[in-house]
Structure 1
Amino acid sequence: MKYLKLGVMQTLVIERQKEFGVFLRAAADTAGEETVLLPKKQLPAGAVAGTSLEVFLYKDSSDRLIATTRRPLLTVGEVGKLEIREITKIGAFLDMGLERDVLLPFRERVGEIKPGMQVLVALYVDKSDRLAATMRVYRHLRAAEGVAKEQVVRGTVYELGEPGIYVAVDDKYFGMIPKAEAYGNFSVGQEITARVIRVREDGKLDLSPRRRAFEQMDEDAELLLKKLDEAGGSLPYHDRSNPAEIEAALGLSKNAFKRALGRLLKAGKVVKTPQGLLKKS
């Protein structure tokens, strides 16, 4: 297709009318070599030959190119959340806001999926010239614009990797929680808020789900008290304990643990013993 573009909004011109609808062409295609049908039910009132219409092109159940004046939830190259309508032997079908759903092939899936689930995807044109969706959104994200260090942003986890947790910030920018900041449990599709700890030269964002140390301290102290209560009032950890053991048991870094412990000691809520910590009654 030279003039007609699959999967994007574009302005086309009515070339001729039929009883069942109108045929559209690109304004540049003066010979009308490429046309696409806009069904009659989609035709705006008063539209005649020569009228320009903004439409979206996709393929119907017979694999024929067709136009609609409805704007889909996603266009090719965009990233966003779509709902899974059903799962079949070839993949999942997602609601893209049109009469026809879009296929998420199993090879483009990341993690477990189920009907009714909202998944972060990008829309693309596959090798057979059909619209398809992918949960592998990395190549569709872009460098951040207007985002500053220490800013709190919203994002969606789209991959769990060895370097850290990959996040689509505002569902469009590159973001990652480095492994050193990735305290707690994360899952693909999880929506999070995070703090920007670094804006890289290439526009990619390093994130932390934790606030700045002095802001996080009270929350960590409350967490430590909760863990003490759950453990019957004592914990076998102190400021010389192994960092990995502290992280596994409490979900805190060694430094965060020491800050929280200092806050509780100062408040007289815990005492240190040779065996660890003891909550004051």
Structure 2
Amino acid sequence: MVDLGNYNELEIAREVDFGVYLTSEDGDILLPRKYIPEGAKVGDKVRVFVYRDSEDRVIATNLTPYATVREFACLTCKDSTPFGAFLDWGLEKDLLVPLHNQKEKMRPGHKYCVYIYLDETSDRIVGTTKLGKYLHNEDAGTDLTENQEVDLLVAGFTEIGIKVIINNSYMGMLYKNEVFQELRMGDKVKGYIKALRPDDKIDVTLRAPGTTGQGESSDAADKILGVLQKAKGYLPLSDSSSPDDIYRIMGMSKKTFKKAIGSLYKAGKIEIAEDHIRLPSDEEQV
């Protein structure tokens, strides 16, 4: 049986002017000529992605979608209609997210985290932003352990941190004050389980177990220098600033901030005043 919305190994049964037909238990499937692998001939098996085209016919392609059925992905909305939105997922036909599958009405140009599945009623591949039923945090303890390396998909941002999909199965949180690199919606990174909480929430970190705080301080220092450069060399923060102000502007704890600016000051990379830090002028760096 063909796995609709996924990759299949199918044999080329016959050739026609506009492509080749692949044999399957569900009947022959067209692979248009422009997608035929170079040198492929009748009798060969080819690896193809199978989905429905704009006329709702089952069709094959050698294009690679951004995600397959049973996967989470962050995709850009191309169009929104009264019955649903269409997202770019790397194929000629866009992915439909029906209106009833939208947590909030989708807007063109915006990126959304969706789960892709095969709708049993219509036998169509669709997406949904209502992710809850496809996340299984209550079962995380049977699969995850603290300090375990995991795959993370950046799925959204909150006031306290970054929401991530863990191993395509669980929702976790990366706390803002522990992230010292720029992350964007849809980024895929390696991380580590920090804590499996009794309330089924999962804390994750980007720092490998056993590493010292020196790496964190170095990352924080790089972030501070980057912010200073964007702010024309001046930042209204110092080691006497409140923890709330430091967290609001820099997204890190006061302890991490003080340690980082201390190392930058010793290296001669910044000047520290009572109410601000700044980059030295060109003359001061000579």
Alignment TM class, shorter chain as reference: 0.5 to 0.7
Give the C-alpha shift of residue 245 in structure 1. Answer: 3.1
CA contact under 8 A between 2:48 and 2:62: conserved in structure 1? yes
1:38 to 21, 30, 44: 30
The alignment partner of 1:257 has SS state of helix
Q: Structure 1 length as normaliser, TM-score?
A: 0.59
Query: Equivalent residue for 1:230?
Result: 234
Change (3 A) 1:57 1:178: same
**1:64-107, CA deviations, whole angstroms, 9 ceiling, x for partnerless residues?**
4x232535413212344555544444343234444433213454
The alignment partner of 1:61 has SS state of coil
Asked which structure has the greater CA Rg, the reply is 1
CA contact under 8 A between 1:174 and 1:205: conserved in structure 2? no
Letter in 1 for 2:204: D
Change (3 A) 1:78 1:176: same
Change (3 A) 1:265 1:150: farther
Q: Structure 2 length as normaliser, TM-score?
A: 0.58
Output the CA distance in 2 between the equivalents of 1:278 and 1:16: 72
Change (3 A) 1:212 1:25: same
**1:206-228, CA deviations, whole angstroms, 9 ceiling, x for partnerless residues?**
11489953234356457389489
Change (3 A) 1:38 1:246: closer
Residue 207 of structure 1 pairs with residue 199 of structure 2: no
Give the C-alpha shift of residue 244 in structure 1. Answer: 1.8
Query: Equivalent residue for 1:30?
Result: none
Give the C-alpha shift of residue 166 in structure 1. Answer: 1.5
Q: CA RMSD in A?
A: 5.3
1:178 to 175, 180, 198: 175
Residue 25 of structure 1 pairs with residue 24 of structure 2: yes
Give the C-alpha shift of residue 130 in structure 1. Answer: 0.7
1:67 to 59, 62, 66: 59
Name structure 2 gaps, 5 residues minimum.
none
Output the CA distance in 1 between the equivalents of 2:22 and 2:247: 64
The alignment partner of 1:67 has SS state of strand
Query: Equivalent residue for 1:29?
Result: none
Output the CA distance in 1 between the equivalents of 2:84 and 2:48: 27
Query: Equivalent residue for 2:108?
Result: 114
Query: Equivalent residue for 1:9?
Result: 7
Output the CA distance in 1 between the equivalents of 2:264 and 2:32: 71
Change (3 A) 1:260 1:112: farther
Change (3 A) 1:111 1:70: same
CA contact under 8 A between 2:5 and 2:49: conserved in structure 1? yes
1:92 to 72, 85, 94: 85
- Equivalent pairs counted in the alignment come to 258
Deviates most, 249-258 or 75-84:
75-84
1:160 to 146, 157, 161: 157
The alignment partner of 1:255 has SS state of helix
Change (3 A) 1:229 1:159: closer
2:122 to 118, 123, 128: 128
Output the CA distance in 2 between the equivalents of 1:221 and 1:25: 58
**1:256-276, CA deviations, whole angstroms, 9 ceiling, x for partnerless residues?**
133235446767876776xx5
Give the C-alpha shift of residue 253 in structure 1. Answer: 0.8
The alignment partner of 2:51 has SS state of strand
Letter in 2 for 1:100: K
Output the CA distance in 1 between the equivalents of 2:179 and 2:68: 32
Give the C-alpha shift of residue 7 in structure 1. Answer: 1.7
Residue 198 of structure 1 pairs with residue 197 of structure 2: no
Name structure 1 gaps, 5 residues minimum.
27-33
Output the CA distance in 2 between the equivalents of 1:200 and 1:84: 33
